[in-house]
Amino acid sequence: MEQKDWPLWEVFIRSKQGLDHKHAGSLHAADAAMAIENARDVYTRRMEGVSIWVVESKNIHASNPDDAASFYEPANDKAYRHPTFYHLPDEVKHI
């Protein structure tokens, strides 16, 4: 069993205060069970988390940086999509 045979996994950790799992980094492991244990040992040594997700890196599909112009720039001049034109009543909290 050599390291080159162990697939790469992406690790997502949810912190105590956090609502969502955030990408923490990646590691090698033979399977999902080992990946979760490795994540516990590598990424939660300083009380970083209360929940761990792992996913094999090959299962993540990413957008292509070359598409940036067509993907994101069209949103630049569409300020009306931001909810900044509404007047909120003072009584409304937590928004």
Partner 1 sequence: MRDNIYNYVLQLADNSLIMGHRLSEWTGHGPVLEQDIAITNIALDLVGQSRYFYQHAALLKDDGSTEDSLAYLRDANEFKNILLVELPNGDWAKTILKIFFFSSYQYFFYKELIHSLDKQLSAIAEKSLKEVTYHLRWSSEWVIRLGDGTDESHLRMMNALDELWNFTGEMFIAADYELQAANDKIGVDISLLKDDWNKKVEAVFAEATLVVPETKWMQSGGKAGIHTEHLGYILTEMQFLQRAYPDCEW
Least Å from the CB of residue 81 to partner 1: 43
Evaluate whether 30 touches 1 at the Cβ level (below 8 Å).
Answer: yes
Q: How far is the CB of 49 from partner 1 (least distance, A)?
A: 15
Shortest Å distance, C-beta 35 to partner 1: 9
DSSP code, position 94: -
Residues forming the site for partner 1 (CB under 8 A): 1, 3, 6, 27-30, 33-34, 37-38, 40-42, 45
Return d(Cα 12, Cα 55) in angstroms, integer: 8
Locate 42 and state its tokens. Answer: 């590598």
